[in-house]
Amino acid sequence: MFKSRHSISLLFNANKVYDRQVIEGIGHYLQSSRVDWDVYLEEDFLCRLEHIHEWGGDGVIADFDDVDIQQALAGSDKPVVGVGGSYGNPEDYPPVPYVATDNLALVQAAYEHLKQKGLERFAFYSVPHDQHHRWAREREKAVTQLTAQDGYDCKIYQGHCTSPDTWQYAMNRLADWIHSLPKPVGIIAVTDSRARHLLQACEHTGIAVPDNIAIIGIDDDDIARFLSRISLSSVTQGCFEMGYQAAKLLHKQLNKIDIGNKRILIPPAGVAARQSTDFKALRDPHVIQAMHYIRQNATRGVKVEQVTDFVGISRSNLEQRFRCERGHSIHTELHNQKLARACKMLTETQISPADIAGICGYPSLQYMYAVFKRHFAQTPKEYRQAKEHKENGQAATG
């Protein structure tokens, strides 16, 4: 049967990881449902918002976290589906079908992750309040609600907007705030971008992550993950599912099905736990120093002597303290850090084993092969293939 073709406009900023994942979900719906749509994704649509009503298409899926887009589409005579953040007050939702990331669930996932690490002090690094960051205000409300329910206080800091002119000032003020917090503390950042600010400030001021400050972001953005020496834990939003459900809602409207102002909340996809929240309650300040140095430098091939030189006490003294706190030697910790990084790179990237050996501080590929054979009875290549096979099998049965 012939189906009429529809022209659909997607009003998103494809430079943002959140928007790209939503678009990917929309694309998956197009492929799986085989709808006959012409999809327009314009890079410069913002400059033509005033005349959006003159566009001759059939439907729109748009980022309603952007107030300008939401206002431009108000009163549209075409089907519109909004995508954005959730609100605690039902009256704050726009009067259109709407798919939302569940802000309360996002923050709760981050908070529960920190609590499971044994932390009892919490803080939240947000962004300055304005109409373009309503979602951030909702996340602040969520963390305040969740911590209060458990009898905890949560220190909230909006910080400053960053630009080349204000960057140094903003980072200095952020460092001041970090220093003012009681330690140890778990900090939830409103986005991965803000979490990266925290990691940089801690690195520049010598604050140990995660031993003094454990940090978790929201977005699971690859850029934030790879630009810091300490890998960032993050809550993964269900952006793909949001895009899929938004396309499904629009499809129903184009088929003349009345869905009213249907609202769908999408929970987070999970927590990607990495080094920045690998918190263990260490009491000895010398061991905290040693762990901070090891996390920063293990993959550079440092030796035990360099760790003890950094801490400034004798090797025998530090070894004794280290075994009491960590249950193993400094050499074992250096080894574990390198091996963990190599395993992660083998499973999450396509970088060659030879390059991984160099990045992770092994003197040669043959040496790394010997380590993997001893620990896993597999070569690095076999380890990667086994992980890929397991993931493919899980995907096939999921």
- Output the pLDDT for position 3: 47
Residue 95: strand, helix, or coil = coil
Q: Is 347 exposed, middle or buried (0-12, 13-18, 19+ CB in 10 A)?
A: middle
In tens, the pLDDT along 230-248 reads: 889 999 999 999 999 999 9
* pLDDT exceeds 60 at position 93: yes
In tens, the pLDDT along 251-306 reads: 999 999 999 999 999 999 999 998 899 887 677 889 888 988 898 889 988 999 99
In tens, the pLDDT along 190-203 reads: 999 999 999 999 98
Domains and CATH numbers, the chain: 6-101+239-267 (3.40.50.2300), 103-236+272-277 (3.40.50.2300), 285-397 (1.10.10.60)
Instruction: Estimate the crossing angle of helix 315-326 against helix 330-348, to 10 degrees.
Output: 60
Dihedral, CA of residue 171, residue 276, residue 327 and residue 357, to nearest 10: -100
> According to DSSP H, which parts of 218-300 are helical?
222-226, 239-254, 285-297
Instruction: Estimate the crossing angle of helix 285-297 against helix 315-326, to 10 degrees.
Output: 90
DSSP state of 1: -
* pLDDT exceeds 90 at position 391: no
Q: Is 38 exposed, middle or buried (0-12, 13-18, 19+ CB in 10 A)?
A: exposed
Closest CA to 230 of 299, 332, 331: 299
Percent of the chain with pLDDT over 70: 92
Closest CA to 205 of 164, 226, 177: 177
pTM of the full structure: 0.76
Instruction: For residue 221, name the pLDDT band (cuts at 50, 70, 90).
Output: confident
Please report which helix (H) or strand (E) contains residue 134, including its range.
helix 134-149
* pLDDT exceeds 50 at position 19: yes
d(CA 320, CA 328): 9
* pLDDT exceeds 50 at position 1: no
In tens, the pLDDT along 303-356 reads: 999 999 999 999 999 999 999 888 899 999 999 999 999 998 999 889 999 999
Instruction: For residue 118, name the pLDDT band (cuts at 50, 70, 90).
Output: confident
